[in-house]
Amino acid sequence: MRQGRTGGLASARLHGHLSDMTDHPHLSAQLDLSALGRLNERPREIFRHIVESYLSSGAPVGSRHLARLLPITLSSASVRNVMQDLEELGLIYTPHTSAGRLPTELGLRFFVDAMLEIGDIGREERAEIEAQVRAASKQQALDTLLGEAMSTLSGLTRSAGVVVTTKENPRLKQIEFTRLDPERALAILVAADGSVENRIVQTPRDLPSSALSEASNYLNARISGRTIPEAKAAIESTLELAKAELGELTARLVGAGLANWVDNASQGQHLIVRGQANLLENLTASEDLERIRLLLADLETQKDVIDLLNRAEGGEGVHIFIGSENKLFSLSGSSMIAAPFHDDQRRIVGVLGVIGPTRLNYARIVPMVDYTSKLVGRLLHGH
């Protein structure tokens, strides 16, 4: 767990230090910051071992076991006294009677901001991320690049990978309608950059199959090289004339397809999630399963996930969100490690990261997220 303090990711790159706790009013209200600053080597070392044991196994650690782990000689009774002090500070708690101690969310925040030691990304991890993401970038589709980046990151961290990016209006190439059932069709839109999106469109029940081809041909003759708003403006101006050429039902399909695509284009941001199944690994108790069920439900709430990722746009470097510091994870008790990525003008164009339980291996994952965000930014402008 412990890594060199001065690796390629300097401590200043990690957003959110102890001095930033005032950004979280409920944290500063419950933590006596002056008392934390006075913690000497003994309680710090005991607290570090409690946190690192939790991050490694998720299990509470008792005074007798801690006394054996410590590099200094202390009796179990002395360790218990220090643990009591740490508990009074709100850094640790006893999960149930006669158990050891676990860090609180406040304790984890203090550890991350004041004690976490971060080094470079591992050589093998760097090589895997580089190879997978660069290969995906050759397909020239943004969703493919971001999806592969998140799949690779989620696989290495055994967490869920998430990314949100501003959804630009690409130049269109073609559209095709395929019938799903008597009242629905699948509209498949292909952009000039190779990206593909599918949307379900409501159709009149008595629409003949030939109308789907006619609508596709009509649109393809008018949308190529245009953005969705440009195509909408051009087609709407002639839609009344189109009724004579296509017939009432087919013209209605053209109009429905346009409305569907324009509504989607106006949503502004696009969320990709990969690796949710990783969250189901190594569950040891029914409460773990319930927590993950709640987290998976959180991930379905796309707007809240996007809002949280957007909070990582402020400042530079990697951001860490822990548990109930944000409303999204207030029930599931989860954490997110995220970093923004930029275009060649240093404008933020998206945020990527991983979401998992609060016992994520922060020291290992922070440099991976940092490296992946920089790599994606470079690939977006051809480097």
Please tell me the predicted confidence (pLDDT) of residue 318: 92
The reply to whether 30 and 92 lie within a common domain is: yes
Residue that finishes a domain, picked among 202, 235, 265: 265
The reply to whether 179 and 279 lie within a common domain is: no
Q: Per DSSP, what are the bridge partners of residue 339? A: 352
The CATH number of the domain holding residue 182 is 3.30.390.60
* Residue where the block lists tokens 């801690």: 66
For the stretch 168-173, contacts whose Cβ atoms lie closer than 8 Å and that sit 24 or more positions apart, written own/partner, are 169/227, 169/228, 169/229, 169/265, 170/195, 170/227, 171/225, 171/226, 171/227, 172/223, 172/224, 172/225, 172/226, 172/227, 172/228, 172/231, 173/224
Please tell me the predicted confidence (pLDDT) of residue 236: 74
**What is the C-alpha separation between 183 and 263, in angstroms, rounded?**
20
The reply to whether 142 and 52 lie within a common domain is: no
Please tell me the predicted confidence (pLDDT) of residue 26: 39
Is 22 within the bounds of a domain?
Answer: yes
- pTM surpassing 0.75? no
The CATH number of the domain holding residue 327 is 3.30.450.40
Q: Per DSSP, what are the bridge partners of residue 341? A: 350
Please tell me the predicted confidence (pLDDT) of residue 372: 95
Please tell me the predicted confidence (pLDDT) of residue 214: 85
Q: What is the dihedral of CA 162, 164, 167, 168, to 10 degrees?
A: -110
Please tell me the predicted confidence (pLDDT) of residue 4: 33
The reply to whether 331 and 346 lie within a common domain is: yes
- Answer yes or no: are the C-beta atoms of 115 and 5 closer than 8 Å: no
The reply to whether 273 and 367 lie within a common domain is: yes
Please tell me the predicted confidence (pLDDT) of residue 29: 40
The reply to whether 108 and 142 lie within a common domain is: no
Report the number of distinct structural domains present in the chain: 3
Please tell me the predicted confidence (pLDDT) of residue 268: 59
Please tell me the predicted confidence (pLDDT) of residue 235: 76
How many residues belong to the chain? Answer: 383
- Answer yes or no: are the C-beta atoms of 334 and 357 closer than 8 Å: yes
Is 78 within the bounds of a domain?
Answer: yes
Residue that finishes a domain, picked among 219, 241, 265: 265
> Shortest CA distance to 354 belongs to which of 295, 297, 301?
295
| Whole-number Cα distances in Å, 84 to 52, 62, 81, 100, 211 | 18, 12, 5, 11, 75
**What is the C-alpha separation between 190 and 172, in angstroms, rounded?**
6
Is 4 within the bounds of a domain?
Answer: no
Q: Nearest 5°: phi and psi at 283?
A: -80, 130
The reply to whether 230 and 373 lie within a common domain is: no
Please tell me the predicted confidence (pLDDT) of residue 148: 92
Is 206 within the bounds of a domain?
Answer: yes
The reply to whether 132 and 203 lie within a common domain is: no
* Domain extent for 240: 172-265
DSSP category for residue 101: B
Please tell me the predicted confidence (pLDDT) of residue 224: 84
Is 3 within the bounds of a domain?
Answer: no
End-to-end CA gap in the chain: 33
Average pLDDT per block of 10 residues along the chain, 383 residues long:
35 38 40 63 90 88 85 81 90 81 92 88 93 85 86 93 76 85 84 76 82 85 79 74 70 68 57 85 66 78 80 81 83 87 81 90 94 91 67
Please tell me the predicted confidence (pLDDT) of residue 266: 44
Residue that finishes a domain, picked among 209, 240, 265: 265
Burial class (CB in 10 A: 0-12, 13-18, 19+), 352: buried
The reply to whether 145 and 198 lie within a common domain is: no
Burial class (CB in 10 A: 0-12, 13-18, 19+), 344: exposed
